[in-house]
Amino acid sequence: MTPIALAIHGGCGVMAKLGLSEEEWQAARADLAASLRAGWAVLVKGGSALDAVEAAVVVMEDSPHFNAGYGAALNENAEHELDASMMDGSNLDAGGVCAATRIRNPVKAARAVMEKSSAVLLTGAAADCFAERNGLDIVAPDYFTTERRQKALAAMKAHAKAGTFAAASESEKHGTVGAVALDGSGHLAAATSTGGYNNKPVGRVGDSPIVGAGTYARDGVCAVSGTGQGEYFIRLVVGHEIASRVAYLGETLEAAANRVIREDLKSYGIGAGAVAVDAKGNVTAPYNTDGMFRGWVTSDGRLHVASHGEVFFVETLEDGAQ
């Protein structure tokens, strides 16, 4: 019997509990649950881990509650530059886009790059054109803009002017979405998508589209999607680091992810989080901030979501036993 498993995150930059109404928290958790249902529906029908993580991330890209796709962060010129990547653990194939401005669902473009081009990463206008040529939905840049992100940009500009960037909340700074999955054939996959951080320099690229940093998957080991200050995820090659600790040191997935997120990254004083699944279907979701939007479905179909310390059991989906 091969287990299946799915985990997602919606960013570690969640707001303080009083920053949103209870109705808004419920809406965000509902979209997390919808993301998990979409991915799980693929897996229980015998679908691939790649299809599952894409389906899960698309739901979050279409939600205004997360910093990816619709509702993405704005750069210093009040423009959107979107990043995403996907990795196939069965053969280490990967694809990504960065600084895209018109692709409704960047994660779909990342997969298209992986499967329909000889490149691993396409950037800017070239990424937009590639997506359009391959039949993906193209939108006007203002499609992605929400009032919440405009307010966050104004707050970050005020912090920059006052020299108080360090005092900014995690929700004002950044956010990311991602998914990891293990399918019934034993294959692993990971996908990550983001708008970057609010008031970021024009042209800045973080870890989300970088294979080995924000996204990594290797069959027999684990799949990882990260969230946090991308510059440090790149420097520490976080996704690959977690996988290497599992593969070469024999650490459990939980021990490896906790070490990297709660010790290595925490030592730099940055907010960080990740979701990961290993080849046995074990799931972990460590973070070092006040909270992280996250959720998972275990092989018995039990769906859970969370934003802060409390974990909510939502429902039992179709059993994942193969």
* Per-residue confidence (pLDDT) for residue 147, from 0 to 100: 92
20/293 Cα distance (integer angstroms): 14
Q: What is the mean pLDDT of residues 56-64?
A: 97
* Per-residue confidence (pLDDT) for residue 160, from 0 to 100: 79
178/187 Cα distance (integer angstroms): 17
- Structure-model confidence comparison of residues 211 and 271, the more confident one: 211
Asked whether residue 200 is assigned to any structural domain, the reply reads yes
Asked whether residue 97 is assigned to any structural domain, the reply reads yes
pLDDT in tens, 204-222: 999 999 999 999 999 999 9
* Per-residue confidence (pLDDT) for residue 243, from 0 to 100: 98
> What is the chain's mean pLDDT, rounded?
93
Q: What percent of the chain has pLDDT over 70?
A: 93
Asked whether residue 69 is assigned to any structural domain, the reply reads yes
Does the pLDDT at position 79 exceed 70?
Answer: yes
Asked whether residue 321 is assigned to any structural domain, the reply reads no
Instruction: Please measure the distance between the N-terminal and C-terminal CA atoms of the chain and give it in whole angstroms.
Output: 6
Does the pLDDT at position 167 exceed 80?
Answer: no
Does the pLDDT at position 15 exceed 80?
Answer: no
Asked whether residue 48 is assigned to any structural domain, the reply reads yes
63/38 Cα distance (integer angstroms): 14
Q: Is 252 a catalytic residue?
A: no
Asked whether residue 279 is assigned to any structural domain, the reply reads yes
94-98, 211-215, 296-300: which range is least confident on average? 296-300
295/310 Cα distance (integer angstroms): 12
Does the pLDDT at position 18 exceed 70?
Answer: no
Which CATH number belongs to the domain containing residue 33 in this structure? 3.60.20.30
pLDDT in tens, 98-137: 999 999 999 999 999 999 999 999 999 999 999 999 999 9
Quote the number of domains for the chain: 1
Q: Which domain holds residue 208?
A: 5-316
Asked whether residue 322 is assigned to any structural domain, the reply reads no
Asked whether residue 33 is assigned to any structural domain, the reply reads yes
Which among 123, 176, 194, 298 is annotated as catalytic?
A: 176
* Per-residue confidence (pLDDT) for residue 162, from 0 to 100: 79
Q: 131: number of CA atoms within 13 Å, CB side?
A: 31
Q: Report the relative pairing of strands 121-123 and 215-218 from DSSP bridges.
A: unpaired
